[in-house]
Amino acid sequence: MPREYSLEKTRNIGIMAHIDAGKTTTTERILFYTGKVHKLGETHEGAATMDWMEQEQERGITITSAATTAFWKDIRVNIIDTPGHVDFTVEVERSLRVLDGSLTLFCAKGGVEPQSETVWRQADKYRVPRMAYVNKMDIMGADFFRVVEMMKERLKANAVPIQLPVGKESEFV
């Protein structure tokens, strides 16, 4: 029986970062803008689509990697939201083995934090292509260019911004 969606039109994309960088919130936005969900679920309200375990909803953190499928144009995108807490690092590593690529989030204030270094190195191990995203540009202490420099220095990444933020903190647009 032929596949409903060919492998050529399927992408497995992981979302990875340090705890509280905004992985699940970003995933919720992706699901909303692709039409997968019609209401944004917030982690702090225990209503995020990807945080399905009762413990995750109560604590506001991701404990297990969760997968869902969304469609963008004619591409099937399997999204894997991974935990950011150090105690659940093995969950991230298990997910990396099946990824075609990942979106790595960095907090605009915290930058390259310990767990983001760990998951970056795990992605190196499995040769997972990455695209980075500097999140939380609206918080006090946000500094996009400092985060890019941290990526270059601490991760030895060839970080090349393809989009620049307009403003920061309360002036962020």
Question: Per-residue pLDDT averaged across 110-116, rounded?
Answer: 94
Calculate the alpha carbon distances from 155 to 17, 44, 93, 147, 168 in Å: 13, 30, 17, 11, 24
Question: 3-state class of 54 per DSSP?
Answer: helix
C-alpha 76/C-alpha 79 separation (Å) is 10
Q: What is the mean pLDDT of residues 55-64?
A: 62
Greatest alpha-carbon span in the chain: 55
pLDDT digits (tens, 9 = 90+) for 131-165: 999 999 999 999 999 999 999 999 999 999 999 99
Mean pLDDT of 47-60: 61
Considering the entire predicted model, what is its pTM?
Answer: 0.83
Contact status, residue 6 vs residue 113, Cβ threshold 8 Å? no
Q: Give the phi and the psi of residue 105 in degrees, each rounded to 5.
A: -95, 145
What ranges do the domains of the chain cover? 7-166
| 144-165 per-residue burial string, b: 16 or more CB within 10 A, e: under 16 | beebbebbeeebebebeeeeeb
CATH topology of domain 7-166: Rossmann fold (3.40.50)
